[in-house]
Amino acid sequence: MRQKILVSGGAGYIGSHTCVELLAAGYDVVVVDNFSNSKPAVLDRVSRIAGRDVTWYEVDLRDKSALARVFAQHTFSGVLHCAGVKAIDEAQRFPLKYYQHNLEASLTLIEAMTQHGLRRLVFSSSATVYGEAARVPYREEAPLAPNTVYGRSKMMVENVLQDLVQADPSWHIAILRYFNPVGAHSSGLIGEDPSGIPGNLMPHICQVAIGKLDELAIFGHDYPTPDGTGVRDYLHVMDLAEGHVKALEYVCRESGLLTLNLGNGRGYSVLEMVRAFEHACSRKINYRYAPRRAGDLASYYADARRANEVLGWRAHRDLSEICTDAWRWQSQNPEGYS
Ligand code: UDP
């Protein structure tokens, strides 16, 4: 009998790649997603890659009775909680939406797990929980001081999970703090499909390369970084997906709370990303320098040693593979999933 894993937000960018990896590792996968920022077609693609079906339900996690029906139909060995909303600027304008979809939804899911005696959880958090108070490279012990609503919504869930383990040590929880996931599955069948003009760097570069957007605005070139542009820790989404499977295996073995950075441990500048992408797609990426984006930090990247020590995980795909895979996805799916 295969172990069955519930993946919330399994049709999203991270969730879909993680489902592929879970299926490859021999798990059965059940997805709940409200499809607010994704499409069921994603899951057909996941099944195609894996050669196995994914059971899915259109469920908003805040809908207690819909969630209860899913729990009544399946016996899960663990939960990967990837569902959430993640646009930093939208969060500043609509904080309530972010607390509802990120915090309230998490509470409902945790409550349903409690009712079914299920205590193994992997939670998608974010490196934005650190904020500017932390020293680079960020270690997991660094003080949390998120400077955005989005970051605070993630930190609040982390706090809930810490309290949960404190009150009941039989919980098995891993909190994964993602740095900047980019790239796509090597099949070109699944990838990142943002709606509207992409706010993040990589999908924006992809859309300039394919001709959907005229140019990239590089936000700031006077940062105290080697070339003046912002530096981030970009990691391949399939490396991240592998990290989830390892974290799941960990929570199936160990109780308590484990908090981990998932990053590749080094930073790349915006210009380095542009150059690497130009090389991968053999096209020129038009860009211009624009003012800094409000709230952006100059440079941050992970201290990724703990994930390696505890899970034996590290990001091993390089920038060239990241860009080649992102370009394959974009060029084979110029309109995304639609
Ligand atoms: N960035 C940029 N132009 C864009 C989008 C992003 O210059 O259109 C820069 C941004 O200032 C940052 C880096 O690219 O230095 C990564 O931004 P992203 O939004 O992808 O991730 P985050 O800032 O949330 O880490």
227-286: pLDDT as tens digits: 999 999 999 999 999 999 999 999 999 999 999 999 999 999 999 999 999 999 999 999
Please tell me the distance between residue 201's alpha carbon and the centre of ligand 1 in angstroms: 5
Atom nearest to 88 CA in ligand 1:
24
Query: What's residue 282's pLDDT?
Result: 97
What is the Cα 261 distance to its own chain's centre? Answer: 12
Given this model, what pLDDT does residue 1 score? 84
List per-block mean pLDDT (blocks of 10 residues) for the chain, which spans 338 residues: 96 98 98 96 98 97 98 98 92 95 98 97 97 90 94 97 97 98 98 94 98 98 98 98 98 97 97 98 98 94 98 98 98 94
Nearest in space to 285 (alpha carbons), one of 173, 165, 201, 183: 201
Alpha carbon nearest to ligand 1 atom 20, residue? 200
The β-bridge relationship of strands 268-269 and 231-232 is antiparallel
pLDDT at 49: 98
* HSE value, Cβ hemisphere, 13 Å, CA-based, for 198: 21
Task: Please give the distance, rounded to the nearest whole angstrom, from the Cα atom of residue 270 to the centre of ligand 1.
Answer: 7
pLDDT confidence of residue 131 = 83
| Domains in the chain: boundaries | 4-182+234-265+301-315
Q: How far, in Å, from the CA of 200 to the mean position of ligand 1?
A: 5
Tokens of 130: 């650190």
Atom in ligand 1 nearest the alpha carbon of residue 290: 7
Q: Which of 13, 130, 150, 268 is catalytic?
A: 150
- The reported pLDDT for the residue numbered 132 is 82
Which pLDDT does position 270 carry in this prediction? Answer: 98
The alpha carbon of 91 and the centre of ligand 1 are apart by a number of angstroms equal to 16
pTM: 0.98
Among protein residues, the one with the nearest Cα to ligand 1's atom 4 is 201
Question: What residue owns the CA closest to ligand 1's atom 11?
Answer: 219
CATH number of 4-182+234-265+301-315: 3.40.50.720
Q: Is 99 a catalytic residue?
A: no
* Ligand 1, residues at Cβ distance < 6 Å: 180, 199-201, 204, 216-219, 230, 232, 270, 293, 296
Q: Whose CA is nearest to atom 5 of ligand 1?
A: 201
Half-sphere exposure (CA, 13 Å, Cβ side) for 45? 26
Distance from residue 28's CA to the centre of ligand 1 (Å): 35
